[in-house]
Amino acid sequence: MNSAPRSSRTTATVLAIVAATCWSCGGEPEPALQPVAAPASSARPAAAPSSAAPDPAAVGADELGQVPILMYHRIVERTESVYDRTPAAFRAELDRLATEGYVPVTTTEYATGRIDIPAGRHPVVLTFDDGDPTQFALGPDGGPAPGTAVAILLDVAARHPGFRPVASLYVNAAPFGSADGAGVLPWLRDHGFEIGNHTLDHTNLASVGDAQVREAIALGQREIQRALPDSRVTSLALPFGAVPANGELARRGTAAGASYDHACVLLVGANPAPSPHSTDFDPLNTPRIRSQDAAGHEAEYGSTAWLDKLAAAPASRYTSDGDPERISYPAARGAVLAPGFADRANAY
């Protein structure tokens, strides 16, 4: 499970909130949640833009807006902590996202700016930590077992055309209750899901030295690549949200005969993430929002509260212009386009 302490090198102001506890990680206390400043595949790909994308102003395009990255753990009928969601609550949240015009993208698609979704739609990233069997398991028919998060996601997507059934799943050893992942990870990969690193043994990277940080991450990657030899692992979700003393080691390093290089390192945080095209985007410190009902412990920082805020202030959201080759935003926008995207800028 994750919480989101910020690196001491991060320039954003961090406000500590009340410490949260996560029981499904074996009773270990979570650090305080923190607001953070700013191929065969059955998964439907993002819709390709038409040859004549609509006028950005007509759809309110703003590709410097905020992106919610939602964090899930267990999907269970009887919840034991704020990190658990019931299947009904999970389904309702997905239905809400689809109804409000969100389209799922993977963490790496978000972090690299490959957000190819229809004009007027908003990206959302669905992330799952710990490789829990309630997230994914294969049934006797070779498809996702009913009631698992992946099965629910596929069902919601089937009822909402354009809602891509994709997510990023962050795994440790023996993912989804398997011996080594070989029986489950290929199905996810082949159906458009991203498999990300969560370290081999769910290591608190803030509590170990540089060599142990590199080893924990490299061994996690190597375990994934045993099941998926030809796949790159391009994102990391920090266990406990704990940033290592040398934050750069969460992104790049070599150990145990393996090298890793992540496009994005996920915290927890308590607010949406900045646009990947903005100067506010920090691939070493990317916040997530815990999926949560409107009531409960720290619910004001959870997904229901944040989706309400984004719905009440629609201009704050990342809204696609329908053309992945340009980055459209209002000229009066407060956010600043990162220099690397200047040749694609389309201020209006």
Nearest to 251 by CA among 211, 289, 214, 288: 214
Nearest to 49 by CA among 328, 330, 263: 328
Dist CA 74 CA 76 (whole Å) = 6
Termini Cα distance of the chain = 42
Provide φ and ψ at 312, rounded to 5°: -75, -20
Dist CA 104 CA 331 (whole Å) = 27
On the 0-12 / 13-18 / 19+ scale of CB atoms within 10 A, 310 is buried
Nearest to 242 by CA among 49, 33, 18: 33
Give the tens place of pLDDT for each residue, 69-86. Answer: 999 999 999 999 999 999
Mapped onto helix, strand or coil, the DSSP state of residue 175 is helix
pTM above 0.85, yes or no: yes
Give the tens place of pLDDT for each residue, 236-260. Answer: 999 999 999 999 999 999 999 999 9
Give the tens place of pLDDT for each residue, 100-114. Answer: 999 999 999 999 999
